[in-house]
Amino acid sequence: MDAATKSEASGLHSALRYKFIALVGNEFVRAATAADAAAGAQPKLVIEPGTERELAEILRLSNEAGLAVIPRGGGTKLGWGNSPARADLILSTARMTEIIEHAWADLTVTVEAGCTIQRLQETLGQHSQRLALDALWPEKATVGGVLSTNDSGALRLRFGALRDLIIGVTIALPDGTLASSGGKVVKNVAGYDLPKLVTGAFGTLGVITRAVFRLHPLPLNSHSFSISSVNAEETQKFVLAVQDSKLAHTYLQSHFSDEKPPASDILFEGTEAGLAAQEAQLRNLAAPASVSEASNSSWTAREELWAFSAPASAAIAKISILPTNMARTMKLVAHSANAQQVRWKALLYATGLGWLRLEGKPGMLCAALQALRDDLQGQDGLLVALHRPSKMPAFDAWGTAGDALPLMKAVKQQLDPKNTLNPGRFVGGI
């Protein structure tokens, strides 16, 4: 710990610090280091409660003391969103890792927020089940983190987003309330659907302490293929044809870049007889394009996009478009990137969601992102900048939240009136 950090940490009202220590134990309250910075903001303390009661109490005390709290799971996406306006302490779920109940015969699991996705999947796999989500960095990413950031990958096409998989949640609110909603059964319409409210809320409303998910069986067999195209128009035509076909594919994703012609990967899961029949149909549908076996890397395409070597000159954006705007969007990306002398690579799912990596000088990246966002917003689409180089000119991570922003602020005001949780990190200054 450097001297400056040490003095800042000790600057935190010592009586309060004693209360934290009394609650969770000395070894779980420590001064924050530079490695604990969150989207450019440097907190003073890191606290690791062992139970949701402890977590709620720390949150309540911090809220009373006017401290800004940054909830943290595995910390893999802590840089996403805008830089918090204030950051006093990191509230870590690192010790809350229990898989409380895997009700395998009911295809549900109840799990604490700090459990990593990989450990969860390993446990579920013992009964040939899965949480149907291909999260980024599953070995580190936690249940609470993927929920708060609404992470989703290729499997979303078939199984929906986390909003469709979560069936119950417990959250700690800044006033210390522990509130549950939803339940342990897949079908349930009693009360408001707060699991959806906190999914993708970036920890700005409450801290997720546990979640209940519906599960899916692991497939009996699977088979994936790659199909190359000469250009984005052809890719779009292929994707729309597959979507309009009777194929029962699990995912369909397309790769674009300034280096290679586009290619798509498609995955089928099911019985051997079903897979063979679908392969034949796919070959017919794709002709004259050739269909080849896909490599295993199609599962890690998103992580590869994130594996840039120079963070200071790379930006990553999530985009969402209508599937019919795929080719047009890729042309636009190429055009904007060209104009700003920026290298680019994109991964687009058949859902219309996609990921874009731009590499170049920070000022140029900013101009390219702005041009793209303006255009996408004009066609029902959107662009969210998840990673921006620190030297890039100011660029809001989120873009417009539309006419519902006042309502979102009212929801925030109700649950976190003192702006304790992740202040300023979310849309419209929330």
Partner 1 sequence: MEARILDELRTIVGGRGLISSPEELHTYECDGLTNFRVMPRAVLLPNSTQQVQAAVRICHRERIPFVARGAGTGLSGGALPVENGIVISLARMNRILDVDFANARVIVEPGVINLDVTGRVAPQEYFYAPDPSSQSICSIGGNVAENSGGAHCLKYGFTTTHVLGLEVILPDGSLVHLGGKTLDTPGYDLAGVFVGSEGTLGVATKIILRIVKRPECIRTLLAAFPSTNEAGAAVSDIIAAGMLPAAIEMMDNLAIQAAEAAVHANYPSCGGLLLVELDGPVAEVEALMTHVNEICRSNGASEIRLAQSDTERALVWKGRKAAFAAMGRISPNYIVQDGVIPRTALPQVMSEIERLSQEAGLRVANVFHAGDGNLHPLVLYDRRIAGQEEAAESLSSKILELCIAAGGSITGEHGVGEDKKKMMSKMFAEPDLTTMQRVRCAFDPLQLSNPTKIFPTPRLCGEKPGEYMPHPLESAGIAERY
Q: Site residues for partner 1, window 314-373 (CB under 8 A)? A: 318, 320-324, 351-353
Structure token digits, residue 341? 């002398």
Neighbours of 230 (CB within 10 A): 10
Question: Is residue 220 at the binding interface for partner 1, with CB under 8 A as the rule?
Answer: yes
Residue 150 within binding range of partner 1, rule CB under 8 A:
yes
Distance CA 393, CA 370 (A): 11
The closest alpha carbon to 88, from 43, 119, 29, belongs to 43
> Among 217-225, 303-311, 340-348, 357-365, which window interacts with partner 1 (CB under 8 A)?
217-225
The stretch among 21-29, 64-72, 160-168, 327-335 that binds partner 1 (CB under 8 A) is 160-168
Going from the C-alpha of 144 to that of each of 4, 85, 86, 91, the distances in angstroms are 31, 22, 21, 12
Structural contact between residues 107 and 88, judged by C-beta atoms closer than 8 angstroms: no
d(CA 34, CA 41): 9
Q: Does 108 bind partner 1 (CB under 8 A)?
A: yes
Q: Where are the beta strands (DSSP E) in 187-309?
A: 207-214, 216-217, 221-228, 249-257, 263-270, 291-293
Question: Rounded to 5 degrees, what are φ and ψ at 195?
Answer: -55, -40
Q: Is 99 in the site for partner 1 (CB under 8 A)?
A: no
Q: Does 186 bind partner 1 (CB under 8 A)?
A: yes
Residue 222 is a binding residue for partner 1 (CB under 8 A): no
Q: Which is nearer to partner 1, 21 or 107 (CB)?
A: 107
**Rounded least distance, CB 107 to partner 1, Å:** 7
Q: Is residue 429 within the footprint of partner 1 (CB under 8 A)?
A: no
Q: Which position among 25, 191, 311, 393 is part of the footprint of partner 1 (CB under 8 A)?
A: 191
Q: Could you tell me how many residues of this chain bind partner 1 (CB under 8 A)?
A: 90
Site string for partner 1, 382-401 (x = CB under 8 A): x-x-------------xxxx
Q: 399 vs 180, 367, 381, 385, CA distance in Å?
A: 31, 14, 11, 9
Q: Is 51 in the site for partner 1 (CB under 8 A)?
A: no
Q: Which of residues 3-42 bind partner 1 (CB under 8 A)?
A: none
219, 261, 389, 429: which one binds partner 1 (CB under 8 A):
219
Show contacts with partner 1 in window 226-255 (CB under 8 A).
Answer: 240, 243-248
- Please report where in the chains the tokens 């800044």 appear, as a residue: 174
